Amino acid sequence: MVDSMAMRETGMPIRLAARLSGVEPHLIRIWEQRYQAVQPRRSRGKHRLYSQEDVERLSLMRQLTLSGHSIGQVAGLTTAELRRLAASIQATDRAPAASEVIPATDKSVDACLAAVRAMDERGLRKHLEEAGSRIGTQGLLVRVVAPLLHALGRLWCDGTISAAHEHFAATVVRDFLGDLAKPMGNLERAPLLVTATPSGQLHELGALLVSALAANLGWRTVRLGASVPVIELAGAVRELKARALALSVVYPEDDPDLPRELERLRALMPPEVALIVGGAAAPAYREVLERIQAYFMEELAQLPVLLTDLRRSAAPSAARNKR
Ligand code: B12
């Protein structure tokens, strides 16, 4: 079992690093021993402990090797050089995604878009429900709802749909996700995840997607909604004895106050509570996220692995305070 507190302070074990990066443990060891691709710290018991940056390096090296580079060519690059190289490859010939957890968009997205164009709420809900029963809730969230939202952004941008269509769709999707995020069954002993967006971040559907996914994985979730001041976030996490706080950061990507606010948040939160951050604008705040050792997730589909791990390694205080 992973001691999450130790994990936050000193790194993660090879098993979790492998699952998050998509590189098998034996390959990680080979890349490390032969090519010094990463240099994990060691625990007192001499186990390897990987940092978030190690995981990112492994994930980038995986993309690059899958797209034809040899590990010897890329292992010595700095993390910034790896990012640049991976981005240049993606721009031309998109390499397979880091963890291959980014499945294809489901066919129902087109039907959902047609319902949005017709502003047909019943139709949109029907397509979402039908997809959910066909591919399951996780599939629905990752392969239908997220791609649908991305498509709406593109169509709004190129003028194919109006702002009214986008507002309509966001409203229906928000209600739909809200239903999915509601607690199911007896969750007395389940770990608790608080979701929100921080001050200045008004796009709330990423946080709702996370709530719905966590609820589907048997977590209790408390949704605080959009643009929540850090003092309130930290207070709620303490009061609720949450296991983790998930923040969605979508727009803008250049809020000069957000890095300081995130640092304050980390300092105000109990150290054993995991801070998870995702959303399209999150990479723009990568520096501060690394500094405060937040779990930075590029894809919603990476979340189940982390939640499963956090669940297994229930924080001591949460375990003591089962409600
Ligand atoms: C719905 C929507 C709105 C709604 C929001 C309603 C609401 N209640 O949330 C409304 C209509 C209000 C709106 C307003 C605006 N919007 Co808007 N909006 C969108 C849209 C279509 C979806 C947004 C969304 O929820 N995305 C969240 C998820 C679905 O996407 P994601 O960030 O890529 O996250 C993925 C993962 O990272 C993960 N994830 C997200 N969060 C988290 C968190 C954790 C912990 C984890 C693990 C994972 C995770 O889930 C996603 C799926 O994989 C996007 C299109 C898009 N591409 O996202 C535009 C978009 C974000 N909006 C945009 C813009 C420009 C605006 C406005 C400025 C428009 C305007 N001129 O008024 C305003 C800004 C308001 C403000 N001050 O913030 C731009 C931003 C472009 C940019 N980065 O510069 C986008 C990208 C559209 C576009 N193509 O141009 N918007």
pLDDT of residue 5: 45
Cβ 166 under 6 angstroms from ligand 1: yes
* Percentage helix, strand, coil for the chain under 3-state DSSP, each rounded to 5: 60, 10, 35
pLDDT of residue 317: 44
Residue 210 C-alpha to ligand 1 middle, in angstroms?
14
Residue 42 C-alpha to ligand 1 middle, in angstroms?
40
Distance of CA 313 to the CA centre of its chain: 19
Question: By alpha-carbon position, which residue is closest to atom 67 of ligand 1?
Answer: 251
Q: Which atom of ligand 1 is nearest to the CA of 250?
A: 32
State the angle between helix axes of 163-181 and 205-216 in degrees (0 to 180), rounded to the nearest 10. 30
Residue 248 C-alpha to ligand 1 middle, in angstroms?
10
| DSSP string across 26-62 | HHHHHHHHHH-----EE-TT--EEB-HHHHHHHHHHH
Residue 23 C-alpha to ligand 1 middle, in angstroms?
30
* Residue pLDDT tens, the chain, 323 long: 344 444 445 678 888 888 888 888 888 988 898 889 999 988 878 888 998 889 989 989 988 887 777 788 889 999 988 988 888 776 554 433 333 334 468 889 999 999 999 999 999 999 999 999 988 999 999 999 999 999 999 998 888 899 999 999 999 999 999 999 987 777 778 999 999 999 999 999 999 999 999 999 899 999 999 999 999 999 999 999 999 999 999 999 999 999 999 999 999 999 999 999 999 999 999 999 999 989 998 889 889 889 988 888 765 443 333 32
Residue 204 C-alpha to ligand 1 middle, in angstroms?
8
Structural domains present in the chain? 4-92 (1.10.1660.10), 108-181 (1.10.1240.10), 192-320 (3.40.50.280)
Cβ 153 under 6 angstroms from ligand 1: yes
Residue 316 C-alpha to ligand 1 middle, in angstroms?
36
Cβ 279 under 6 angstroms from ligand 1: yes
Q: Which atom of ligand 1 is nearest to the CA of 167?
A: 11
Question: CA-CA distance, 197 to 210, in Å (whole number)?
Answer: 11
Question: CA-CA distance, 259 to 261, in Å (whole number)?
Answer: 5
Cβ 277 under 6 angstroms from ligand 1: yes
Cβ 170 under 6 angstroms from ligand 1: yes
CB 291 within 8 A of CB 21: no
State the angle between helix axes of 146-157 and 163-181 in degrees (0 to 180), rounded to the nearest 10. 170
Residue 131 neighbours by CB under 8 Å, 6+ apart: 106, 108, 139, 140, 143, 144
| DSSP string across 199-251 | TT----HHHHHHHHHHHHTT-EEEE--SSB-HHHHHHHHHHHT-SEEEEE--S
The amino acid present at 65, given as its one-letter code, is: T
Q: Quickly count: other Cβ atoms within 10 Å of residue 162's Cβ.
A: 12
Cβ 97 under 6 angstroms from ligand 1: no
198: left (phi > 0), else alpha (psi -120 to 50), else beta?
A: beta
pLDDT of residue 91: 56
